[in-house]
Amino acid sequence: MKEIILAFTSFLAAILAGLLYNRSLKRERPIHISIIHNLPAQSSQFFTGRAKEISMLRDFLSPTNPITIGGVFGIGGIGKTSLLIKVGQECVNSKSFDFILYIPARQFSLSNDYKKSDGILDTIISTAIYTLDFHQNKLSDSEKEAFARASFFQKRTLLLVDGLDETSESEQNELVNFLLSLPSQTKIIISSRRKIDLPFSIKLDALTFDEYRTLISQELASTNTNLSDEIAEKLYQLTGGLPLAVRLATSLLKDYSMETVLRKFKKSDNSLFEFIIKPVINKYRNKYPYNKLLMTMAHLTNLATLPEIAHKAGLADNVQLVEEGLVNLTKESLLTKNDDKYLLHPLVRGYILSKEIS
Ligand SMILES: Nc1ncnc2c1ncn2[C@@H]1O[C@H](COP(=O)(O)OP(=O)(O)OP(=O)(O)O)[C@@H](O)[C@H]1O
Ligand SMILES: [Mg+2]
């Protein structure tokens, strides 16, 4: 019932916005729009790899592809934001969209702190108004809002919603309802650490060794540091090929010796573990069967099947519970699933072993 009311309200809002838009088109002075995107300037940020993912996103964004909502998922620091912005920039250059909105989902919660009545929709609309940059036009606030709302219906729009996991479940539902009300030419890419079920999705994995070497050489270009193959290999294992970890390691190298940097990763003693790995582990550390599964898998160095994991965790008589647990941990990007086998993310494994949580 709630969905029907919401859909109906969105429909009415769309009609009203369309009418106001048409009225605004009949203005004596046409409205000038100078900016069609609000992507953060990242051109100075070095970007490597992800060719396969970029090509999959290009296919998804093609007007001939009927799917409208896609997702990019992966553990914190794997490069979801970087990929979204890279693809967004590409769309700006190719002019494949008229209107490109980048919306960091944490803005929703931020705006809620300031003004209780602000919701996701308000944030998206105010971002659109800001992006459309009406300053050359003498428009009232309600005209601006109508124009911004109508833009979603009149223009070919790309909406990049970054970090959906940083919002509450009710905000996520509000967003999904809004997205479902948008016309079919609108494309939406959502990024989240925790996987959600969408018609099209990409799971981001570690950089390959070659991509990692490219990134590290770039990061160390301004210093005199030269990594031997052996050290480079060691650092790759310890950072798990996670781009954020690689950048952190290279910035630590500006202050610390290589031995100390390697130790900081071996002992999970740096901000990456504090801010990315620890919070998600804490969510599960006292929850059965997750605690048992995490501990068991931390001691496995190779991919293992569900029955093998169940057996090692002493849960062979409750395979269904194990399956539920593995599915959820995979959705959280703590595990990798390859065919029917699972493996703990190397940084998560390192963290659990160094802290020996139970
Ligand atoms: N393909 C890449 N090439 C070079 N650097 C990268 C790449 N991907 C990510 N990085 C770097 O790694 C760091 C983390 O990337 P990013 O912020 O995109 O991760 P994220 O998955 O969005 O993380 P979070 O879940 O915390 O939002 C950034 O400093 C970014 O510049
Ligand atoms: Mg991000």
Q: State how many domains the chain has.
A: 3
Counting atoms of ligand 1 from 1, which one is nearest the CA of 204?
21
CA of 104 to the centre of ligand 1 (A): 14
In angstroms, what is the span from residue 32 Cα to ligand 2's centroid?
Answer: 32
Ligand 1 centre from 301 Cα, in Å? 26
Residues 53 and 157 in one domain: yes
Q: Are strands 341-344 and 335-338 parallel, antiparallel or unpaired?
A: antiparallel
Q: What distance in Å separates the CA atoms of residue 280 and residue 287, rounded to the nearest whole number?
A: 12
Same domain, 277 and 218: no
Same domain membership, residue 217 and residue 191:
no
Residue 111 has, within 13 A of its CA and on its CB side, a CA count of 18
Res 153: pLDDT = 83
The last residue of one of the domains, among 184, 203, 222, is 203
Domain boundary among 165, 181, 203: 203
CATH of the domain at 39: 3.40.50.300
Among 244, 277, 345, name the best residue to mutate to test ligand 1's pocket (greatest count of ligand atoms within 8 A of Cβ).
244
| Ligand 1 atom nearest 50 alpha carbon | 1
Predicted pLDDT of residue 30: 55
For ligand 1, atom 15, the nearest C-alpha belongs to 79
In a shared domain, residues 296 and 219: no
pLDDT score of 114: 46
Same-domain status, 108 and 77: yes
Residue whose CA is closest, atom 24 of ligand 1? 76
- pLDDT of res. 117: 41
> Which residue lies with its CA nearest to atom 18 of ligand 1?
79
80 alpha carbon – ligand 2 mean position (Å): 5
For residue 81, the CA-to-ligand 2 centroid distance in Å is 4
Residue 339 sits in a domain of what CATH number? 1.10.10.10
Q: What is the largest CA-CA distance in the chain?
A: 76
Q: Are residues 20 and 50 in the same domain?
A: yes
* β-strand pairing of 200-203 with 304-305: unpaired
Check residue 226 and give its pLDDT: 79
**Do 46 and 167 belong together in one domain?**
yes
Q: How far are the Cα atoms of 19, 49, 258 from residue 76, in angstroms, in the given order? A: 43, 18, 24
User: Do 101 and 246 belong to one domain?
Assistant: no
Domain that holds residue 198: 2-203
For residues 23 and 102, state if they share a domain.
Answer: yes
Task: Give, for all 358 residues of the chain, the pLDDT tens digit.
Answer: 555 555 556 655 655 555 555 555 454 555 555 448 889 876 667 899 999 999 999 999 999 999 999 999 999 999 999 999 999 999 998 989 988 999 988 776 655 444 444 567 788 888 888 888 766 667 788 888 888 888 888 888 999 999 998 888 888 888 888 888 888 889 999 999 999 889 999 999 999 999 999 999 998 887 777 788 999 999 999 999 999 999 999 999 888 999 999 999 988 888 889 889 999 999 998 899 999 999 999 999 999 999 999 999 999 999 999 999 999 999 999 999 989 999 999 999 999 998 865 4
Is the same domain home to 188 and 291?
no
91 lies in the same domain as 192 = yes
Q: Are residues 160 and 254 in the same domain?
A: no
pTM attached to this predicted model: 0.85
Q: Tell me which of 266, 283, 312 is where a domain ends.
A: 266
User: Which ligand 1 atom is at minimum distance from the Cα of 74?
Assistant: 21
- CA-wise closest residue to 284 among 224, 344, 231: 344
Residue nearest to atom 25 of ligand 1 (CA): 76
